[in-house]
Amino acid sequence: MLKALIVEDDKFLASSLKAAIADKFDVDVSYNGLDGQKLIDNNIYDFVIADSILPGKGGLDLLDYIREDKELKIPVIVLTIAESTEEKARVMKHRVTEYLPRVADASLLTTTMSNLLQRESNLKAENEVTYKDLVLDLKNELVTSNAGTLDTIKGKYLELLSFFVINNNIVLEKEEIFDRVWGVDSETTINAIEVYISGLRKELRKIGYDKNLRTVRGVGYTFE
């Protein structure tokens, strides 16, 4: 069974979160950020859920500790009371991290956890992302498949394709795509997504992967 850590000072909420995931996770609970950090140091976790505001060390600082000091790729959900641009930016800069409102229902929590676990499993290496025979060499900006090699997908196009491949078979809303690829404080408008999607499909057509990038009407896009 997978192992999760919940760091939440509201004991009722911590109990509710634990009950929501107990069928799939062996769960430890901490009511203090510093105590949560000690548990992370001394245990191997597959998932961490932390409130953004905690005694000792807040969830965002705990996230930074996990990512920078420990260099761990544990999926993390940060629970927030009121979303702020600064908080959102700190969470979104990490590829296997998400934020949820503290009042999120159990189904949204478990779905988000499942998506993040899939995203983590798809990150085989820091500079390489794969899907079937499609290989994205992020360092050298090359996209290859059995049908050939593309050196024309670069910059934001490569970042966009990488995000889709990492999240293959997950329906992604336009806002999340924009926040992850362009950033929450970008001066570019969200309408840029459609332009980039069109250009990306044109290039992917050369190696037979254009139809894998599918539009989900009224929602966003998915790569399958």
Output the pLDDT for position 209. Answer: 96
Q: What is the pLDDT of residue 82?
A: 67
Total-model pTM:
0.73
Query: 113 near 120, Cβ under 8 Å?
Result: no
* Burial class, 206, CB count within 10 angstroms (exposed 0-12 / middle 13-18 / buried 19+): middle
Residue position matching structure tokens 């959102």: 88
How does pLDDT run across 60-87, given as a tens digit for each residue? 999 988 887 655 678 999 998 866 777 7
Cβ 27 vs Cβ 19: under 8 Å: no
pLDDT, position 70 = 52
**How does pLDDT run across 10-49, given as a tens digit for each residue?**
999 999 999 999 999 999 999 999 999 999 999 999 999 9
